[in-house]
Structure 1
Amino acid sequence: MLDNLSKSLCKIIENISGKNQLNKQEVEKVILELQRALIRADVDVELVFQLSEKIKSTVLKENAISTASDHLITTLYKELAKICGAETKFELKKGKPISILLCGLFGNGKTTTAGKLALYFKRKGKRAALFGLDTTRPGAMDQIEQIGQQIEVPVFIDKKSKDIKQVVEKWKSEINTYKNNFDVLIFDTAGRSMLDKGLVEEIKYITKEIRPDYRFLVLGADIGQSAKKQAELFKNAVGINGVILTKMDSSAKGGGAITASAMTGAPVYFIGTGEKMEQFEQFNSQRFVSELLGYGDIQTLMEKIEDLKKSKELEDTNISDISQFDLNTFYSQMNSMKKLGPLKSIISKLPLFSQKIPDDMLEVGEEKLKKYKFVIDSCTKDERKNPEIINLSRIKRIAQGSGVPEREVAEFFKQFKLMKTMLGEAQDGKMPKKYKNMMRAMEQQFE
């Protein structure tokens, strides 16, 4: 997610984190590098310069000739979090069902987002239902029906009627019944290639009749700072009170889209981080900036794990003794991690400044997992329990038995050793002290 921006910001942090004091010239150099990184991410130029002046005036108060590097880093974190928008809280109260209306233009993934949102709440133990109100796009009703079947969430559609008023009247007459049976009602509406009079009138009509608690605009992150204009148009026309950004994994302009949305007063509530249904999370500006700066986002990762455990989609593979981590456990955990999303996405949420892991080692897909299973099946019981005994001759035998090339078998054991080392360090709490201190200082900025 925003790999190029994150790499640029992490490089800035790494260059200054080891220094006790920074002089005025060094501070100005950091700010110049920050400006370049943000402008490349399509953040509004005027906003970038306002941010730069704010950071500079904060860290170099009263014409100071130097500042502590930790002070600059925490200020950078605080000000970046501010321009990404105020903290949004989206909590469901027991016994109080809510309704969410999704609107937006064609091509932004509105229907898929409706499904992702339903799965998000389902994993939190909430009863979600999808309603198809897109009577314009061919196949819209079939798509939302298929999504509902995929995530095992009820879908309410009317494939016969093309009259939006007739469809809305049908669901409106039964809305109280649905609110008694579900915690979250999600309404997917029709889109257009542009915000025309017909779309505005349709959304206004649906809003008046359904009276949703939340009206979210679904935007693609690839439009960058143009999100400001689109959010303003929808806010003025139909009164949206929040934004959901999609395509955050595939666009370098996501930073611009987030800051642009925040400037309109319609904050980002959720972000789509990939094509899969589970690649979706609630947006938190502080956690988002922490991840961008390389300090990870442990809290969001732990919340995802707890949600999966709650929905019984994730088995408990907690290991109290790292010596118990063998090949059987490794395969079990790799299967579990797939449900959290791509390994690269998981690792990005861990504060791993000391770990330089190549991207190709993080791209563990279905095919690699199948090969891993063949490799493990070709190991003896002793080898599975004690992989340290595996040498070159054993690798050759395992390769022949599994049908996997020797090079890939060796790569598998290399990845296993790396994961075991990482788990051991995590249990021992081995994070460099300077990063622990800075993370603590950043958290205190918002207490």
Structure 2
Amino acid sequence: MLPKLRDGLRALAERIRSAVVLKDSLLEEILRDLRKTLLEADVAPDLVEQLLERLRKQVRTKPPPGVGKKEQVIKALYDELVNLLGGEVEIELRPKRVLLVGLFGSGKTTLAAKLARFYQKRNLSVGLVCCDVTREAAYDQLKQLANQVSVAFYGERESRDSASIARNAMEKLRNKDVLIFDSSGRNALDSEMITEIKRLHALIRPDETILVIPADLGQAAREQASAFAKALPITHVAVTKLDATAKGGGALAACAATGAKIAFITTGEKPDDLELYSPKHFVARLLGFPDLETLLAKLKETRAPELAEKALKEEEFTLEDFIDQFQELRKAGGIAKLLDMLGLGIKLPVEVLELQEEKLKRWKYALDSMTEEERKNPEVINASRIRRIAKGSGVSEAEIREMLSAYRQVKRMLKMLKPGKLRMVRGLGDLFKLLRPK
């Protein structure tokens, strides 16, 4: 996520940590590089200069007793980045009506499905309502997404009256805890759109009105957020497509500058690729510090803690567990995302990080063609057994060897991550204790 901004900020943090002495000249160099990094992330120049001025004042003061100069500078950098990227938001888990608004291409419809999954995983029943009466494919897309995440759907394919659709939906889906209304978009926030969403808002009386802004808007998000705030009582902002642009930092900073409360960010195309936005956790990850809270929240939604416990007991970690582990971790965002949350520089083989659904499916076919002994103890699989498994599964011998190689490399990595050795990795010695089932 935001690799260019992340790499730039981590390089600055490393320069601070590795400096023998933090002279004023070095601090000015670091501030100049910080300016360049933020501007390249499309943060508005005035916001960058304000941040640098505040940071310059802080780093020129004497550190508090017991705090070194390096720690003072890194803490000041962290605090200013958190301030730049917005405040904390608490989302209430209760019955509610949610109205999504935004321009064409902002990602409202896919966000609706992601929000449905978010509330569904928190034991609230959800209904998705298609009030987008301008985009031809809106009805079919939202209906398909509702089926994909197994939630109720209401829409009227032929209707062009969004208020009537919303009224009927509230009657038909009155037994659902959370109703999420996807509204029409426009190429611009014109008078026609304002009139329609105001009418819809008055009818629905939503508990939350979420403005959906794509991250690739960069600093232009500031103007859009301000314009929508004048037309509607926006309660929260969701920034989408954060995984697909280098301008995400600029969009987050721009929204925060308007006073808008950013509640959610999306980091991929799948229904589970939604995160509650916390500037503190977000900045920690950008700087390479562990974000254990987000990591644990993700893992609790899967069987990963149970499988992690088995993985630590090397003799019990079978080939079947290995395949299951990847399937569960993919649900939590994938190995690369989890390592990023930990702030770790551990490098897994490319074939492990880039596992796609099709590859996992084929590996499963191979697994089904193995004997129980082979699944529990892959070390017995020799060339003749590989030929037999390939013939029985329709999976090539090369793919089976690739699977076995990835399994062995993950086992080697797990030796490094046993609790005793985790203590040497940025203070994360209790990670697996936290992950173990109670």
Q: TM (normalized to structure 2)?
A: 0.87
Of the structure 1 ranges 157-166 and 80-89, higher mean CA displacement relative to structure 2 is found in 157-166
How far did 1:135 drift? Answer: 1.9
Equivalent pair of 2:302/2:328 in contact (CA under 8 Å): no
Counterpart Cα distance in 2 of 1:10 and 1:63: 22
Equivalent position to 2:315, from 300, 320, 323: 323
Equivalent pair of 2:63/2:72 in contact (CA under 8 Å): no
SS at match of 2:22: strand
Matched, 1:42 2:35: no
SS at match of 1:436: coil
**CA-to-partner distance for each residue in 1:235-261, whole Å, 9 max, x for gaps?**
011221211111111111011000100
SS at match of 1:243: strand
Equivalent position to 1:268, from 251, 262, 270: 262
Counterpart Cα distance in 1 of 2:263 and 2:420: 32
SS at match of 1:344: helix
Residue number in structure 1 paired with 2:403: 412
Equivalent pair of 1:118/1:129 in contact (CA under 8 Å): yes
Equivalent pair of 1:124/1:307 in contact (CA under 8 Å): no
Matched, 1:82 2:73: no
Residue number in structure 2 paired with 1:166: 164
Equivalent position to 1:373, from 356, 360, 364: 364
Q: Which amino acid aligns with 1:154?
A: A
Equivalent pair of 2:93/2:119 in contact (CA under 8 Å): no
**CA-to-partner distance for each residue in 1:5-49, whole Å, 9 max, x for gaps?**
112222223333344642222222222222221111111112122
Equivalent pair of 1:342/1:363 in contact (CA under 8 Å): no
SS at match of 2:321: helix
**CA-to-partner distance for each residue in 1:114-140, whole Å, 9 max, x for gaps?**
111111110111111111211222232
Counterpart Cα distance in 1 of 2:126 and 2:423: 43
Residue number in structure 2 paired with 1:217: 211
Equivalent position to 2:299, from 302, 305, 330: 305
In 2 relative to 1, CA 374–15 (structure 1 residues): closer, same or farther, beyond 3 Å?
farther
Of the structure 1 ranges 216-225 and 381-390, higher mean CA displacement relative to structure 2 is found in 381-390
Q: Which amino acid aligns with 1:290?
A: A
Residue number in structure 1 paired with 2:427: 436
Matched, 1:192 2:151: no
**CA-to-partner distance for each residue in 1:68-112, whole Å, 9 max, x for gaps?**
32332222222211111000110224xxx2111100111111111
Matched, 1:141 2:135: no
Identity over aligned pairs, percent: 39
Counterpart Cα distance in 2 of 1:332 and 1:72: 43
Q: Residues 243-254 of structure 1 correspond to what in structure 2 (within 5 A)? A: 243-254=237-248
Equivalent position to 2:332, from 334, 340, 356: 340
Equivalent pair of 2:299/2:329 in contact (CA under 8 Å): no
Q: Which amino acid aligns with 1:367?
A: E
Q: Which amino acid aligns with 2:201?
A: T
**CA-to-partner distance for each residue in 1:264-285, whole Å, 9 max, x for gaps?**
1112111111111111111111
In 2 relative to 1, CA 399–296 (structure 1 residues): closer, same or farther, beyond 3 Å?
farther
Q: What root-mean-square deviation, in Å, do the aligned CA atoms of Structure 1 and Structure 2 show?
A: 3.0
Counterpart Cα distance in 1 of 2:204 and 2:197: 10
Residue number in structure 2 paired with 1:285: 279
Counterpart Cα distance in 2 of 1:211 and 1:411: 55
Counterpart Cα distance in 1 of 2:147 and 2:259: 36
Q: Which amino acid aligns with 2:250?
A: G
Counterpart Cα distance in 1 of 2:112 and 2:46: 34
Matched, 1:3 2:3: yes
Equivalent pair of 1:248/1:254 in contact (CA under 8 Å): yes
Residue number in structure 2 paired with 1:114: 112
Equivalent pair of 1:20/1:68 in contact (CA under 8 Å): no
How far did 1:404 drift? Answer: 5.8
SS at match of 1:435: coil
In 2 relative to 1, CA 51–143 (structure 1 residues): closer, same or farther, beyond 3 Å?
same
Matched, 1:70 2:71: yes
Runs of at least 5 residues in structure 1 that lack an aligned partner in the other structure = 438-447
Counterpart Cα distance in 2 of 1:418 and 1:29: 41
What is the number of equivalent residue pairs in this alignment?
424
In 2 relative to 1, CA 38–211 (structure 1 residues): closer, same or farther, beyond 3 Å?
same
Of the structure 1 ranges 252-261 and 424-433, higher mean CA displacement relative to structure 2 is found in 424-433
Equivalent pair of 1:131/1:185 in contact (CA under 8 Å): yes
How far did 1:153 drift? Answer: 0.4
SS at match of 1:364: coil
Of the structure 1 ranges 415-424 and 275-284, higher mean CA displacement relative to structure 2 is found in 415-424
Counterpart Cα distance in 1 of 2:422 and 2:33: 27
In 2 relative to 1, CA 7–379 (structure 1 residues): closer, same or farther, beyond 3 Å?
farther
Residue number in structure 1 paired with 2:199: 205
Residue number in structure 2 paired with 1:362: 353
Counterpart Cα distance in 2 of 1:60 and 1:259: 25
In 2 relative to 1, CA 23–398 (structure 1 residues): closer, same or farther, beyond 3 Å?
farther
In 2 relative to 1, CA 154–315 (structure 1 residues): closer, same or farther, beyond 3 Å?
farther
Equivalent pair of 1:41/1:254 in contact (CA under 8 Å): yes
In 2 relative to 1, CA 46–396 (structure 1 residues): closer, same or farther, beyond 3 Å?
farther
Counterpart Cα distance in 2 of 1:388 and 1:165: 64
In 2 relative to 1, CA 327–358 (structure 1 residues): closer, same or farther, beyond 3 Å?
closer
Matched, 1:54 2:54: yes
In 2 relative to 1, CA 50–421 (structure 1 residues): closer, same or farther, beyond 3 Å?
farther
How far did 1:409 drift? Answer: 4.6
Counterpart Cα distance in 2 of 1:338 and 1:362: 10
How far did 1:324 drift? Answer: 1.4
Counterpart Cα distance in 2 of 1:63 and 1:422: 39
Equivalent position to 1:233, from 224, 227, 236: 227
